Amino acid sequence: DAGVTQSPTHLIKTRGQQVTLRCSPKSGHDTVSWYQQALGQGPQFIFQYYEEEERQRGNFPDRFSGHQFPNYSSELNVNALLLGDSALYLCASSWAGTRNLGYFGPGTRLTVT
């Protein structure tokens, strides 16, 4: 049973560019949450998707947007990249029928230069 997978593993972008990160949830899970983890910090909640809609959102600007597909996979898009967006982006999946214990993927390391 594959766990949560994310792509790409690493990414280098320039300020002002746009980036798309991808996530496939664990088999049987229908809810995807995205987190940003800056170096030396705990993950910070960005938003959560369920039934192809954003269900709740953390304290992140509109430059951060997402999408969920019918197969429950998800994308995180960040526009107009800033140096401060450099971080590890984590995807976690869960099943709406149980409490969210956050089964995390390995993350995508984004570096903005």
Q: Which residues bind other proteins (CB under 8 A)?
A: 4, 31, 33, 35, 40-45, 48, 55-56, 58, 90, 92, 94, 99-107
Lookup: tokens for 88: 């590890």
Q: What minimum distance in Å lies between the beta carbon of 60 and other proteins?
A: 12
Q: What minimum distance in Å lies between the beta carbon of 19 and other proteins?
A: 18
Q: Which is nearer to other proteins, 75 or 102 (CB)?
A: 102
- Range 40-47, long-range pairs (CB < 8 A, 24+ positions): 43/90, 46/76
Q: Which is nearer to other proteins, 17 or 27 (CB)?
A: 27
Q: 59 CB contacts (<8 Å, ≥6 apart)?
A: 44
DSSP-assigned letter for residue 83? G
> C-alpha 111: how far from its chain's center?
15
Q: Which is nearer to other proteins, 13 or 57 (CB)?
A: 57
Q: What minimum distance in Å lies between the beta carbon of 78 and other proteins?
A: 18
